[in-house]
Each structure stands twice: as C-alpha cells, then as structure tokens.
Amino acid sequence: MTCQSSESTESIESERRADNNSRAVESDESRIALAMKDLRNTGWYWGSLTANEAKEILQDSSEGTFLVRDSSQRDYLFTISAMTSAGPTNLRIEYKHGKFKLDSVVLVKPKLKQFDSVVHLVEHYVHLSRSTDRAAAAAAATNPQASTAPNGTVQLLLTKPVYTATPALQHLCRIAINRRTRRVQDLPLPNRLKDYLTDYSYHV
C-alpha cells in the first residue's frame, strides 16, 4: 500500500487539466482548419473584407444575396453579410464547444441550430430560404432578424451567394450533382472524380 501526498495529487490533477485543455485546443484548431478548407472551396468566402466593403458589394443586389467574410470583432471568426429588404446587414457566426451557430438575441440563442462547419450552417439556411415561403423560413430558422425600425423587423434570407470570381464549371457541376444525390460512391464514375465530388459535398 502506498500513500500519496496532497501536493502530488494536486500535481496530477493539474497535469490532467492541462492535458485536457491541450486536447481541446488541438480539437478546436483542427475543426477551424477544416471549416476554413471548406470555406475556401465555396468561392463565396471573401476573407478579410470589411463591413463597408461588403456593403458596397451587396448594395445593388437582390434580397437574399449574401457572402461570408472574416469577422471584424475579435470574439467571432466569421460574419455573413446579406442583402435584406431594408438594405445590407451583417450576422455574426459564433464558434463555441466545437460548433458554429448564428449569433442572435439572448432569448433566441438556445433555439439556434449548431453545425460542424460554416458551410453546413450556410447550406441549412439557404435551403430554408429557397424551399419555403418567407414566413415559414423565418419560423424554421428561429427568426434571425435585422432591425429596421423601432416597431418592425425585416427577415433575413440567404438565397444567392456572391462569388469572388466566376466559379469553375467543375465546381458548379459538383454542386449540382451533390444536390441530386448523397450517394456519390454508388455513381458509375472514376474514383478520382468521386474524390473530387466528396471533397466538397455541399449544395451551395
């Protein structure tokens, strides 16, 4: 039988906590790195664009046009800039506990869906905006809103991404195929082409 001093026990506990923290940091780094890889493949991630620059890009666009950029606020990684019926607005994307979700008012936050990647988050809200009418989209998305006046709000829709450059035909074909099937491996295609399709498996 051995006896361990309280100092030794505290040291072990401290090492365990440090190890857990190290793993959490590594996990966060790998998740964010994967999110960045997916974002760079989209063609509508604009990097370190400012809010004013995003506003200029969206100024003459139709409602629902959007882009994703780096957030200018230190507590957030990314921001969605989108055109609403009242003009361009910005909605921050929050990263916490390995998940991404929209930043919204405190009462709505617990209801907002969480996603493994930024592109998955955007894909979800694009699907809602495109497949349902305006009222249903707002309800299903737990109503992310942008204020326009003291007595009213406008609905945030995401329907059409703004590309940094004309996307490659291969990429557009990849999106079209992935919209049609989730079973790419069953398609009669060369493995190299299947790898390309699964490298970006989103619909937007």
124 and 195 share one domain: no
182 and 150 in a common domain: no
Task: Answer yes or no: is pLDDT of 170 > 60.
Answer: yes
For the full predicted model, state whether its pTM sits above 0.85: no
| CA angle 9–15–16, rounded 5-degree value | 90
Whether residues 187 and 103 fall in one domain: no
User: DSSP letter string over 92-124?
Assistant: EEEEETTEEEE---TTTGGGS--BSSHHHHHHH
Question: Tens of pLDDT along 24-78?
Answer: 556 888 888 989 999 999 999 999 999 999 999 999 999 999 999 999 988 899 9
Are 156 and 173 in a shared domain? no
Identify whether 174 is part of a domain: yes
Residue 178: give the domain boundaries. 169-199
Split at pLDDT 50, 70, 90, the class of 183 is confident
**Total domains in the fold of the chain:** 2
CATH number at residue 187: 1.10.750.20
148 and 106 co-located in one domain: yes
Q: Which residues contact 180 (CB under 8 A, 6 or more apart)?
A: none
Residue 84 lies in a domain: yes
Which pLDDT score, from 0 to 100, does residue 56 have? 96
Whether 133 and 178 share a structural domain: no
* Mean confidence (pLDDT) of the chain: 80
107-161 tens-digit pLDDT: 565 678 899 999 999 999 998 887 754 554 455 455 555 434 444 556 778 999 9
**Residues in contact with 195: Cβ distance below 8 Å, sequence separation at least 6, in sequence order:** none
Task: Work out the pLDDT band at 168, boundaries 50, 70, 90.
Answer: very high
